[in-house]
Structure 1
Amino acid sequence: MQNNESDDIYDVIVVGSGAGLVGALAAASRGLKTLVIEKTEFVGGTTAYSGSGLWLPGNAAERRGGVDSGPDKARAYLDDIVGDDAPSALREAFLRIGAPMIDELESFPQLGQFFWQGVPDYFEKATNALPAGRTIFPQPLERAALGDLEPLVRRPQWAERSGEYPGDEMTGGQALIGRLLLAFTATGNGTVRTNTGLDRLVVEDGRVVGVEATSNGEPVTLSARRGVLLAAGGFERNAELRKKYQPEARADWSQGAPGNTGDALVAGMDIGAATDLLEEAWFSPGLMVPNDRPVFYPSVWSGIWVNDGGERFMNERLPYDRSGHEILRHHKASDVSHIPVHWVFDQRQFDNERAFASPPVAPQSPGWFHADEFLEAGLLHRADTLEELAELIGVPADALVASVDQFNDYVRSGKDEAFGRGDAPWDRIITHMCGSHEDGPNPCIGLIDRAPFYAAKIALSDLGTKGGLKTDDHSRVLHEDGSVIAGLYASGNTMAPMTGRIYPGAGGPVGSSMVFSYLAALDMAGADA
């Protein structure tokens, strides 16, 4: 969509078109002339790739699902796991505004009602963790309902990769973006410019009053009377910034959307904005695949992960961000490489038709794991014995055999004495997806003894970087001295996260991005938060 007005003056400019669309909608629905600029040709960012779970304690959708949650219970949980890694004021704002934000969104006919679906909180031992979780989801959306807007919405990642038609029904992140786009444009106050990338912020008398951008190859200056919201994702696809702040991570291993190269972050830093946690990301395991970046893969059913020393070092079923952080922690603390990880499994993985049936984010692309293609690319190795497999992947044979033997003992006893696989509610989700193991009392662990044996590669991937610009509890960006940069706001992965270094539960990134985009809009509109 292209703006046809000649003056290019708006009340609010939102840079980025993912969950920041909530802020755009909140501003436009309050009568503010609002522009969304998107660097790429598609609206949605990484949110469109997501399953669009929203971790937002105490909302109406939870209550309809019978969940006994709320700010007080969630506060204790967040305080326990976040600690001092992020200001408590941000958590309080998140807890205060999440539920009323959902109430407002559900008042738009284009959004409809969200629904709760049980996904366990990721830190099962923390105070007030909920085994059934606090995650809600948007309703699916018929693709045809978008009309002429439909080609604007970024396809799910699996569809972008495979080239397959994603179906007549949008689900997950696509559905959320589609619904927000419909509601935003229906206000009569909203405009979207795609192929329009931020170059720099315009500052007058210490206040951000607009942006300079490149739109379809041409320079433009766009003015904002009330403010600019930076909601353009992180810098995960910027190799230079990754090398500077996260040398163990790689831009070409990220799951983030192509446009997430840190332009908004850099623009804020250029005018003196403070930053925090730039070394952090929403890490995850990524299965390395032929001719493409790794696949987001939290769905390990069988086998074990070993390092270059042939040693098992973690619970392979940890929630994905905890799993990614654990890989990184061991890699940094050891002289033995843990990146990439060797995933060792046996023929049972292939004999179970459900184990490689689909990637984890629905809707799915069946038959994506073609063993011959992986073998030919050197991303899968196969051998008749563990000793032969060890030689193929370059790890000590005695160590690999010992790791497998110990794991098999745990299988027979039913207790993973080393790392507790199968103890937590999140671990056990895999049994609903792929079935239970029947080699012992623990359904989450199975024997590795049926030749041939295999080894695949697990990269340190991520859903995006999470360090960013420091803000206050109204999403206003701060100087290094803690004072507010007038007219500038940030949310999502452009903002230093309210969750600090952790990922509280499914939908933490999208849910918090929505909340702080909404808070920014309320502040620009002069409304109570």
Structure 2
Amino acid sequence: MESNKIDDIYDVIVVGSGAGLVGALAAASRGLQTLVIEKTEFIGGTTAYSGSGLWLPGNAAERRAGVDSGPDQARPYLDAIVGDDAPAALREAFLQVGAPMIDELESHEWLGQFYWQGVPDYFEKAPGSLSTGRTIFPEPLDRSALGDLEPLVRRPQWAERSGAEPGPVMTGGQALIARLLLAFVATGNGTIRTNTGLERLVLEGDRVVGVDATTDGGSKTIRARQGVLLAAGGYERNAELRQKYQPEVTDEWSQGAPGNTGDALVAGMEIGAATDLLEEAWFAPGLVVPNERPVFYTSVWSGIWVNDAGERFMNERLPYDRSGHEILRAHRASEVSHLPTHWVFDQRQFDNERAFASPPVAPQSTNWFDVDKFLAAGVLRKADTLEELAELIGIPAGALTKSVEQFNEYARSGKDEAFGRGDAPWDRIIVGMCGSHEDGPNPCLGVIDKGPFYAAQIVLSDLGTKGGLKTDENSRVLREDGSVISGLYASGNTMAPMTGRIYPGAGGPVGSSMVFSYLAALDMAGPNG
């Protein structure tokens, strides 16, 4: 859409305030007057909900920790697991720029130093996989450091849902967003406007020159001299788009931030941008809980997952995105429903004090799994015998009993002969979700024989959709013919991911979003930036 009326002019406009803040900071640090517009009243998006892990091979934090990683070590891993699902040029750009981006971020006073923490790569059999992982994290931050900016930062998901106060120290994604916000404001070249949503992109000829945005005061046209970066998340909270591209999945199951309705994606498509992988998401199992969206909860200790036929069909401790994809694959491949999946366990799960208290797979609030509340809401079923439990949840009793007996044999022997649960480094990483060796030779397996027995529901949740606008290695948005839409960039879940259909390791989404936001800023700044 072309427009002659201009309300404001900036060098760079960033649409969205999650990991795209890295692009905003990089642009503002290079002297570009940069505006961030955020549709909701809070900045941070889904990144603020995250554990803020960043999967970035070869960065300074890894080197300080003595981790032997870098482009040459990580390239075979990404090549093997991504394959042809995304352009190799995107992977190479990611590998080359991640480390210098961290170097630049650590040079800012408010970012400080990141630290490495050993979280295994998610595909343990792929060449180049590291059992120690490549994931780094920002340091926590005292909430008071934000001063008057503190109310702007989106609360952690568990606090937002419960209304609880998150405490005086920001951790995880909140800490990352807060540090980026402080550094961005400190440049003197950064402006943030909340409650300002993207309506459409403004064109002059074939070039994007700004945005039409909606605010409390009406509609505004804001011009960008250098370019517009679309970093507004995916479309996970848009029921119509989910039905179109992912009909088995409902937007009511997503963990994505409330504002993620695909506005930036649609705006790009309206001016001819190419798209890819719109059927994909960063999937994760979601535990159905009373009266709200499912809880991101994976890596069970005790119990098994069975389908409507009462059959176990997977390793319940797979990394969450692999787990979600496996549930979806099994559901599509069978006439038997796997949505929801039935999680069957016994009293041992409740007797293990750590079994519902291990972040990032559970809310960081105490007593969140209230058995009486769950039972009253009908999202948890309880019975004295497995046969009675099967009747309550509508699956064949004989099949459920057979599945449990077979699993118990594996638990007693310490080897899951069917699906290898407990074999991979990731299976064993979340120690608090495992039992002890008193529960058997493999603490990731636990015998199911101590009544009463329970069944909860697992649905296919996600951390956001991941398909989006096609880009080149500089984050420039492309048309179907491969030509560049001048002045338009995309990153994060608005961009078709460089990881294709897979999730390489903890922090893959946030790390890649940061890198391609950074690359967009470098391109907008030009050779002297």
Cα distance, 1:218 vs. partner? Answer: 1.0
Q: Which digits, 9 at most, give the CA deviation of each residue in 1:13-43, with x for residues without a partner?
A: 0000000000000000000000000000000
Quote the residue 2:210 is aligned against. 210
Q: 1:274 to 1:9 in 2, by over 3 A?
A: same
Quote the residue 2:141 is aligned against. 141
Matched, 1:325 2:325: yes
Quote the residue 2:179 is aligned against. 179
Quote the residue 1:87 is aligned against. 87
Q: Which digits, 9 at most, give the CA deviation of each residue in 1:483-505, with x for residues without a partner?
A: 00000000000000000000000
Cα distance, 1:441 vs. partner? Answer: 1.5
Quote the residue 2:11 is aligned against. 11
Quote the residue 2:343 is aligned against. 343
Amino acid corresponding to residue 452 of structure 2 in structure 1: P
Q: 2 CA distance for matches of 1:357 and 1:10?
A: 46
Q: 2 CA distance for matches of 1:248 and 1:497?
A: 21
Secondary structure in structure 2 of the residue aligned to 1:486 = strand
Cα distance, 1:359 vs. partner? Answer: 5.0
CA contact (8 A) 1:358 1:365 kept: no
Amino acid corresponding to residue 113 of structure 2 in structure 1: Q
Q: 2 CA distance for matches of 1:126 and 1:202?
A: 44
Quote the residue 1:385 is aligned against. 385
Quote the residue 1:75 is aligned against. 75
Cα distance, 1:431 vs. partner? Answer: 2.6
CA contact (8 A) 1:474 1:520 kept: yes
Alignment of 1:188-267 (within 5 A): 188-267=188-267
Cα distance, 1:432 vs. partner? Answer: 4.1
Structure 2: gaps of 5 or more residues: 1-5
Amino acid corresponding to residue 402 of structure 2 in structure 1: A
Secondary structure in structure 1 of the residue aligned to 2:23 = helix
Higher mean displacement: 428-437 or 476-485: 428-437
Quote the residue 2:372 is aligned against. 372
Cα distance, 1:353 vs. partner? Answer: 1.1
Cα distance, 1:430 vs. partner? Answer: 3.1
Cα distance, 1:162 vs. partner? Answer: 1.0
TM-score normalised over the length of structure 1: 0.98
CA contact (8 A) 1:52 1:507 kept: yes
Alignment of 1:263-274 (within 5 A): 263-274=263-274
CA contact (8 A) 1:297 1:359 kept: no
Secondary structure in structure 1 of the residue aligned to 2:454 = strand
Matched, 1:127 2:127: yes
Cα distance, 1:363 vs. partner? Answer: 7.9
Cα distance, 1:7 vs. partner? Answer: 4.7
Quote the residue 2:286 is aligned against. 286
Higher mean displacement: 474-483 or 216-225: 216-225
Q: 2 CA distance for matches of 1:435 and 1:199?
A: 51
Secondary structure in structure 1 of the residue aligned to 2:439 = coil
Quote the residue 2:296 is aligned against. 296
Q: 2 CA distance for matches of 1:147 and 1:361?
A: 31
Amino acid corresponding to residue 283 of structure 2 in structure 1: F
Query: Between the two proteins, what is the percent identity of the paired residues?
Result: 83
Q: 2 CA distance for matches of 1:362 and 1:420?
A: 24
Cα distance, 1:408 vs. partner? Answer: 0.4
CA contact (8 A) 1:522 1:528 kept: no
Alignment of 1:132-171 (within 5 A): 132-171=132-171
Cα distance, 1:344 vs. partner? Answer: 0.1
Matched, 1:311 2:301: no
Q: 2 CA distance for matches of 1:437 and 1:397?
A: 30
Q: 2 CA distance for matches of 1:458 and 1:83?
A: 30
Q: 1 CA distance for matches of 2:527 and 2:103?
A: 16
CA contact (8 A) 1:491 1:513 kept: yes
Q: 2 CA distance for matches of 1:405 and 1:493?
A: 43
Amino acid corresponding to residue 166 of structure 1 in structure 2: P
Q: 1:520 to 1:362 in 2, by over 3 A?
A: farther
Q: 1 CA distance for matches of 2:527 and 2:492?
A: 21
TM-score normalised over the length of structure 2: 0.98
Cα distance, 1:374 vs. partner? Answer: 0.6
Cα distance, 1:300 vs. partner? Answer: 1.1
Cα distance, 1:412 vs. partner? Answer: 1.2
Secondary structure in structure 2 of the residue aligned to 1:235 = coil
Alignment of 1:465-504 (within 5 A): 465-504=465-504
CA contact (8 A) 1:146 1:182 kept: yes
Cα distance, 1:528 vs. partner? Answer: 7.5
Quote the residue 1:3 is aligned against. none
Quote the residue 1:22 is aligned against. 22
CA contact (8 A) 1:301 1:430 kept: no
Higher mean displacement: 350-359 or 106-115: 350-359
Quote the residue 2:3 is aligned against. none
Quote the residue 2:44 is aligned against. 44
Q: Which digits, 9 at most, give the CA deviation of each residue in 1:73-94, with x for residues without a partner?
A: 1000000100000000000000
Matched, 1:116 2:125: no
Q: 2 CA distance for matches of 1:414 and 1:139?
A: 38
Q: 1:431 to 1:358 in 2, by over 3 A?
A: closer
Cα distance, 1:299 vs. partner? Answer: 3.4
Structure 1: gaps of 5 or more residues: 1-5
Q: 1:140 to 1:93 in 2, by over 3 A?
A: same
CA contact (8 A) 2:299 2:427 kept: no
Amino acid corresponding to residue 481 of structure 1 in structure 2: D
Q: Which digits, 9 at most, give the CA deviation of each residue in 1:418-452, with x for residues without a partner?
A: 00000000001233445425332111101000000
Quote the residue 1:448 is aligned against. 448
Amino acid corresponding to residue 401 of structure 1 in structure 2: T
Cα distance, 1:357 vs. partner? Answer: 2.8
Q: 1:528 to 1:483 in 2, by over 3 A?
A: farther
Cα distance, 1:388 vs. partner? Answer: 0.2
Quote the residue 2:100 is aligned against. 100
Q: Which digits, 9 at most, give the CA deviation of each residue in 1:177-209, with x for residues without a partner?
A: 000000001101000000000000001110000
Q: 1:437 to 1:220 in 2, by over 3 A?
A: farther
Cα distance, 1:66 vs. partner? Answer: 1.2
